[in-house]
Amino acid sequence: MRFPSLFRRASHDMAIDLGTVNTVVYVRDRGIVLNEPSVVALETRDGVSRVRAIGADAKLMMGKTPDNIRTIRPLRDGVIADIEVAEQMIKHFIGKAHGGHSRLPRQPNMAICVPSGSTMVERRALRQAATKAGAAKVFLIEEPMAAAIGAGLPVTEPVGAMVVDIGGGTTEVAVLSLQGLAYSTSVRVGGDKIDDAIASYIRRKYSLMIGEATSERIKLTIGTAKRPERKAGETMRVKGRDLVQGVPKEIEVSESEVAEAIAEQIGQIVQTVLMALEQTEPELAADIVDQGIVMTGGGSLLRRIDEVLASATGLPVVIADDALICVALGAGRALEDKEFSGVLLAG
């Protein structure tokens, strides 16, 4: 099915990768114009809550707010958890993407990325939030398809391609061919669960409580999916609150310890990929042997995760260029190019 009116509209139309951790906005004919944390800070005064900050400004407040301010993520596991706050966040990002104008010349059409495993209720919540935020027409595109288009895979051809998209809330695994998902599955394991695992490990081993921002920083600095050849590997200093004495404390954490902390989450991702390969039709599997597996999403940038996946599957594994923004790039390209119009889901 094609949507000819979609392609005649002016350049206000946009594609949004509304992620658990980051929101990336693509505007027609301009490309990626915004990439900010999906965080909202709410201030409560006299029993009434109002938005204090959104995006990067709100993330700076995480774990450092007084009692009357709380920071929340309106999306969890890739889907909307708080529809009213999500609506305000989308509206803010739309305005910021268009140079800070709260009133646009017209309502834009939007393509919004959704996890392939999301329910009809979850998809309806996304449509509702985007419509209330000012969208004229909302199209959905499944994240693995958007990631494949963004990574430059031949999704319109009769050739099998496998994508592993590791986001903040979910890992999407899909085999694609002829603008469709021949097989897709997802597991609600991503960057957030990896951060949680690091924080839990440090709490258990060192009786030290650390915040979300600190565990994320550990992951980005010395995080690895595979134990280093050297016994401990790189190390970094970590500060938090001692749970025994109740005072601030600093410890040293090693690369090897981080690999141990997140082994279970990496194992779940690998098992999901293996399960997808088991369910793939033989002809498509033959194409994947030639093409290999393409990884996208922020989680694919975790060191040595491609090595772990290649070792488990026996297939070549490639991390896509622009892995962090592949999904938004693909959704934007689907919005602009008639060749991909069949992947947009109207409703």
Contact 239, 209 (CB under 8 A): no
Phi and psi based region of residue 15 (left: phi greater than 0; alpha: psi -120 to 50; beta: remaining): beta
198 assigned to a ligand binding site? no
Q: Is 257 annotated as a binding residue?
A: no
String of DSSP letters for 100-164? T-SS-SSPPEEEEEE-TT--HHHHHHHHHHHHHTT-SEEEEEEHHHHHHHHTT--TTSS--EEEE
For the chain, the first-to-last Cα distance in angstroms comes to 12
**Residue 281 annotated as part of some ligand binding site:** no
Residue 301 assigned to a binding site:
yes
218 annotated binding-site participant:
yes
Is residue 78 marked as binding?
no
User: What is the rounded CA–CA span in Å between residue 335 and residue 330?
Assistant: 9
Question: 27: which 2 tokens?
Answer: 């505007």
**Annotated binding-site residue? 219:** yes
| 170 among annotated binding-site residues | yes
Give 153's contacts (C-beta < 8 A, 6+ positions apart): 161, 163, 176, 291, 294
Asked if residue 300 lies in contact with residue 112, where contact means CB atoms within 8 angstroms, the answer is no
* Residue 104 labeled ligand binder: no
What's phi and psi for 284, nearest 5 deg? Answer: -70, -40
What DSSP state is assigned to residue 279? H
Q: Tell me how far apart the alpha carbons of residues 270 and 238 are, in angstroms, rounded to a whole number.
A: 29
Whose CA is closest to 330, among 148, 174, 156?
148
Contact 213, 230 (CB under 8 A): no
| Residues tagged in the binding site annotation for ATP | 168-170, 216-219, 298-301
Q: Which residues are annotated as a binding site?
A: 168-170, 216-219, 298-301
